[in-house]
Amino acid sequence: MLRLDAVGRYYGDHQVLHDITLTVPDGQLLCVVGPSGCGKSTLLRTIAGLLPAYDGTITLDGTPVRGVPDNLAVVFQDYARSLYPWLTVRENVALPLRRRGLPRAERRAEADRILARVGLTDTARRHPWQLSGGMQQRVAIARALVCRPSLLLMDEPFGSLDAQTREDLEDLLLEVHRTDGATIVFVTHDIDESVYLGDRVVVLSPGPGAKVVLDLPVQLPGTRDQITTRGLAEFVALRSEVGRAVRNRPSPSGV
């Protein structure tokens, strides 16, 4: 379980986050949305232990986060810079296992297993620069999953992809989440994406000093599907509620 208790974060005198309190149960897919520049990436990097100095407390499975925890993986938007161009796809994916000292044959088997899951078996011997943007982001996701993290943090991972590729990767993420059951915190500026993916959506207010202004469970029926789910009345209602909170507009009915 991930817990944030009264978390605040400054850059110099500039307060970015104010009094963020959240509990993310094991296995939840939490989406964080908010206006541009409100502090979504800062929140994610603080949870990841990449920005260590903060007010309040963050604990992962009861242990305070003071550096990057072992059982955590992060996927950023900029896949081109997060993969090593001189390594093959398989070597990129196996890298975290190498750092953990796994023997070569095991690293290879695990990397191939996870590449098959993300639909990239045929690319194992190619280099990242030989792949499309969507395929490179699949490699980055595979590398994040290879150590079976209990917490996966994703910072606008599909933000620079075309619409069709983005939908394919959203569905891949839902499938991975359904089968692996990792806790996921997913930052996006896309309101539709947050409702489509999330078990829960948290909206941050505009900065400085962003706080949680909406914490919404997403209870959509059945397995999600790009066409059917997005057409449901429940989906449209949730999207409107999140949209109003992001834009700081009260509902027309005053509710």
Ligand X SMILES: Nc1ncnc2c1ncn2[C@@H]1O[C@H](COP(=O)(O)OP(=O)(O)OP(=O)(O)O)[C@@H](O)[C@H]1O
Q: Give the C-alpha separation, 173 to 192, whole Å.
A: 15
* Shorter beta-carbon distance to ligand X: residue 43 or 94: 43
The residue within the footprint of ligand X, chosen from 108, 189, 230, 239 (CB under 6 A), is 189
- The alpha-helical segments, DSSP class H, found in the chain are 40-47, 79-82, 89-99, 104-117, 133-145, 163-180, 191-197, 228-231, 233-247
Tell whether residue 197 is a contact of ligand X (CB under 6 A).
Answer: no
The values of phi and psi at residue 167, to 5°, are -65, -40
Q: How far is the CB of 205 from ligand X (least distance, A)?
A: 11
Q: Is 218 left (phi over 0), alpha (psi -120 to 50) or beta?
A: beta
* Shorter beta-carbon distance to ligand X: residue 37 or 85: 37
Stretch that binds ligand X, among 32-40, 163-171, 175-183, 232-240 (CB under 6 A): 32-40
Q: H-helix or E-strand containing 253?
A: none
Stretch that binds ligand X, among 18-26, 39-47, 170-178, 238-246 (CB under 6 A): 39-47
Q: How far is the CB of 54 from ligand X (least distance, A)?
A: 13
Tell whether residue 74 is a contact of ligand X (CB under 6 A).
Answer: no
Q: How far is the CB of 129 from ligand X (least distance, A)?
A: 25
Query: Binders of ligand X: how many residues, by CB under 6 A?
Result: 12
Within residues 114-143, the interface with ligand X by CB under 6 A covers none
* Shorter beta-carbon distance to ligand X: residue 18 or 90: 18
Q: Which of 155, 122, 153, 120 is nearest to 136 (CA)?
A: 120
* CA terminus-to-terminus distance, the chain: 32
Peptide bond into 208 cis (omega under 30): yes
The residue within the footprint of ligand X, chosen from 7, 29, 38, 73 (CB under 6 A), is 38
Stretch that binds ligand X, among 29-37, 105-113, 121-129, 162-170 (CB under 6 A): 29-37
The structure tokens 């983005």 sit at 166
Residues in CB range of 201: below 8 A, 6 or more apart: 30, 31, 32, 33, 194, 195, 214, 215, 216, 218, 238, 242
Tell whether residue 37 is a contact of ligand X (CB under 6 A).
Answer: yes
* Shorter beta-carbon distance to ligand X: residue 13 or 222: 13
> Binding residues for ligand X, per CB under 6 A?
11, 16, 34, 36-42, 189, 207
